[in-house]
Amino acid sequence: MNGMEEIATPKRTKEIIHRHGFSFKKSLGQNFLIDQNILHKIVGAAGLDKTKGALEIGPGIGALTEKLAQAAEKVAAVEIDQRLIPILQEVLEPYPNVTVYHGDVLKLDLQQLFKEQFGEVSRVSVVANLPYYVTTPILMKLLEQRLPLENIVVMIQKEVALRMGAAPGGKDYGSLSIAVQYYCEPEIICTVPHTVFIPQPNVDSAVIRLKVREAPPIDVDDEGHFFEVVQSSFAQRRKTISNNLKNRYFSGGERAELDRLLNEAGIAPNRRAETLSIEEFANLSNILLRAGVR
């Protein structure tokens, strides 16, 4: 490996941290991976080759970046912590195919970044060990912006990964499951114990691959309205779908009209949101919209 030990080992990670006098910021959710096997699984799940690009969010000290640079034609890594930029420039010096950006991915113009970095590659995947506190906003930005992505392979909190991949009927299934499955086909690749990080987080993680769909699996008349109906339906999980939707759309008390529309959609008003499939939500959203309920 360019005459150097790989970054993702306890010894090399500690050596880099000590040499640069780096201290972890809890507020940024910094946990560095020190397990080569997990890194190989993450990179393997992305299906990269020398015709493809990778966008990494939160490269830390470059353990995953190094592997991406070896697998992909072009890598762009976005790091929010200014203190890590000189470390990344040093450890990634052997890899001219990597560009490091200092910035907050939630504020960056990703369309512009893709134009600058990935014009010459066939497909791009996001590959990242995401900070837990900002996982959902980052993923939703990537998906809502309709970036030309093949896969999103991320290591996230295990319970969040379970929610993303959940099927109707269980406690994990909710508005996040539907939002992710609208844009992607999720698959959990492996679970990751908290012991393979420095410092160790309090919870276990999972690597999930979100294969980005060419088109959503359902037809909705209005995407914004669809997601609003879903969110409103799950507002209070213990309540029936009729009660949750009444609070949002029929606060004046026209319960009979709401129940009539639910029945038209083939949904018993006393069902709970967690029992409805994404297809049922799409049908319900379209029926409400056509009846002028928005």
What does the pLDDT look like over 9-60, one tens digit per residue? 888 888 888 888 887 776 666 788 888 999 999 999 999 999 999 999 999 9
Q: Which residue has the higher pLDDT, 84 or 1?
A: 84
Check residue 2 and give its pLDDT: 45
Q: Which tens digits make up the pLDDT trace of 80-118?
A: 999 999 999 999 999 999 999 999 999 999 999 999 999
Are residues 278 and 181 in contact, defined by beta-carbon separation less than 8 angstroms?
A: yes
Q: Which residues line the annotated binding site for S-adenosyl-L-methionine?
A: 31, 33, 58, 79, 104, 129
* Confidence tier at 253 by pLDDT (50, 70, 90): low
Percent of the chain clearing pLDDT 70 (strictly above)? 97
Highest mean pLDDT out of 4-8, 120-124, 200-204: 120-124
pLDDT at 281 over 60: yes
Average pLDDT in the chain: 92
| Sign of the CA dihedral with 30 first, then 31, 32, and 38 last | negative
Check residue 217 and give its pLDDT: 96
Check residue 1 and give its pLDDT: 43
Structural domains in the chain, CATH included, are 10-212 (3.40.50.150), 223-290 (1.10.8.100)
Return the closest-CA partner of residue 138 out of 127, 123, 150: 127
* β-bridge pairing 32-33 and 197-198: antiparallel
Are residues 64 and 127 in contact, defined by beta-carbon separation less than 8 angstroms?
A: yes
Q: Residue 165: which residues within 8 A CB-CB, separation 6 or more?
A: 177, 180, 186, 187, 188, 208
Rounded alpha-carbon distances, angstroms, from residue 41 to 36, 132, 208, 210, 282: 9, 20, 11, 14, 35
Tokens of 4: 């150097």
Q: Which residues line the annotated binding site?
A: 31, 33, 58, 79, 104, 129
Mean pLDDT of 247-267: 87
* Confidence tier at 6 by pLDDT (50, 70, 90): confident
* β-bridge pairing 205-212 and 53-57: unpaired
pLDDT at 61 over 70: yes
Q: Which tens digits make up the pLDDT trace of 211-251?
A: 999 999 999 999 999 999 999 999 999 999 999 999 998 87
Mean pLDDT of 275-287: 98
> Exposed/middle/buried for 132, CB within 10 Å: 0-12, 13-18, 19+?
middle
Rounded alpha-carbon distances, angstroms, from residue 104 to 58, 74, 157, 256, 275: 9, 20, 20, 48, 37
Percent of the chain clearing pLDDT 90 (strictly above)? 78
Check residue 286 and give its pLDDT: 98
* Confidence tier at 209 by pLDDT (50, 70, 90): very high
* Confidence tier at 294 by pLDDT (50, 70, 90): confident
Check residue 197 and give its pLDDT: 87
